[in-house]
Structures are given as structure tokens and as C-alpha cells.
Amino acid sequence: MTKLTGSPLLLALLLALCLSSCHACQAQQATVATQQKGYTYKKPSSGGTGKVYMGREIAAIMSATGGNWLDRDTRQEEENSTKILQYLQLKPTDVVADIGAGTGFYTFQIAPLVPQGKVYAVEVQDRFVEQLQDRKKKEETPHVEIVKGSSKSIHLPAQSADVALMVDVYHELEFPKEVLQDIHQTLKPDGRLILLEYKAEDPNVKIRALHKMSAAQIKKELQASGFTLERSETDLPLQHVMVFRKSGMERE
């Protein structure tokens, strides 16, 4: 048997090449997995997470310590919530999912409009869930149900809701694709998803950039998850109101 001169060095080189190849393969697999999930990552911007979906950096979520801002005295005037409720075009028997309900600013305004229906107040933050439960008792609204959601699911039964509503919430979803797919399953066949987001197109809307969205970006993301734009209400000074219908899911 022939002895190889310098074999330890040769073996070390072969081992290094092998490890390098493995690491490159693992990195490539991780990149492919990330692309399959639909997300990429970058250095976070101010107020952002660094996680990017369809070209948009996802905003950092507002913590429950900001609850006072949700119930600020000027909100009705700034947003014209009375008109927003009219845009919902609710029937008394409708089942509504208020996703990202926060302190219940809209939940408990919707409740009287659906006396024979139901309102699911879906929230992921424990402090908000507690506030919603306390407010439900105070306002005596038995047809309001508080639901603890998660980052990927609203935890509601399939085909249980006529309307899903997100008011200044969607831009903060950690997993927008997964949540939209879950909402799609939750809505009845002719169900509607209604989004309100601050207008990114208007520099006079004094909201941090990542907490605003353009109408084009909203439409692009929702169409990719099986929703068709039915109409847009454009006369509010600060927010887009975009009404989508459940349609077929795009296949990957």
C-alpha cells in the first residue's frame, strides 16, 4: 500500500472544503426557506422590525402602554368614526371580527349595530384582553366575545364571520400572510375584509412612515392572499378605507 506524503495536510484541506460546502448549502437552504415563507430581512428602520413582506417593512407593534392614545378624546373628530361605521354597512344579524381590537374603541360602537349578531374582539396583548373583558362587563354586551389571538391566527372558527375589520392594525402584523390566510378561512363565502390604514401618499398625515400604507400596497398584499377589492372610500382626511371580498386563494 503506497503511503501518501503530507496526508494530514491533504486531509485537513479536504475537511475544510467539505465544511465550507456544507455551510454554503445550509445558507442556500435557509435563503430558499425564507423566500418560500414570503419574508426577507434587513437592518430595522426607525420604528420597524427589519422584516419585509412584499417590499414593505413591517412596523413594530404598539404596546398596550399606548392604550390611552387609542381612547384619546380627539379620535372621533380626527377619524370620523361615525362615518367609518356607516362605511361598514352592517346588518343587525352580522358576525363581525374586530381584529386588533385594542381597548375596544370600535368593538363597542359596533355591538349596538348587530343586536342579533355577534362581535369577536380579537387581541394578542394580554393587557388589552383584560381591558376588553372589563369593558364588556361594564357595558353589558353579552354578544361581544373576547378572543386571544396569536401572531399567526385570529383563533376563530372557519366560515364564522360576515365581516373582518382591521383599523390601523395590518401594518403591524408580524405574519401578515399567515393572518390573511386565517381570516380568509374565517370569513363566510361572501365575507368582507375591511382595512383602515393611514395614508402613506399624503405627507400631511403626521404618522410615522412605517405606520402608514399606500392604497396600492394594501391592494397588492391582499390580492396575493385571496381578496378582491370591492370599493374604496376616499373622503376621510387621514385614512384609507378599503373593502375587500373573499375570493380564491393564489397558489404558490
pLDDT of residue 39: 97
> Per-residue pLDDT tens for 146-189?
999 999 999 999 999 999 999 999 999 999 999 999 999 999 99
Angle between helices 215-223 and 176-186 (to 10 degrees): 60
Range of the domain at 26: 8-57
Residue 133 in any domain: the answer is yes
Say whether both 129 and 238 belong to one domain.
Answer: yes
Give percent above pLDDT 90 in the chain.
74
Say whether both 114 and 52 belong to one domain.
Answer: no
Residue 251 in any domain: the answer is no
Say whether both 132 and 182 belong to one domain.
Answer: yes
pTM beyond cutoff 0.85: no
> Per-residue pLDDT tens for 105-123?
999 999 999 999 999 999 9
pLDDT of residue 80: 85
Say whether both 37 and 107 belong to one domain.
Answer: no
Residues 239 and 197 sit within 8 Å (Cβ to Cβ) = yes
Say whether both 147 and 221 belong to one domain.
Answer: yes
Residue 3 in any domain: the answer is no
Please give the tally of structural domains in the chain.
2
Is 124's pLDDT higher than 80?
Answer: yes
Say whether both 109 and 230 belong to one domain.
Answer: yes
Say whether both 115 and 228 belong to one domain.
Answer: yes
Say whether both 40 and 98 belong to one domain.
Answer: no
Residue 130 in any domain: the answer is yes
Torsion of CA 220, 246, 128, 106, to 10 degrees: 100
Residue 252 in any domain: the answer is no
Cell of residue 175, nine digits = 405574519
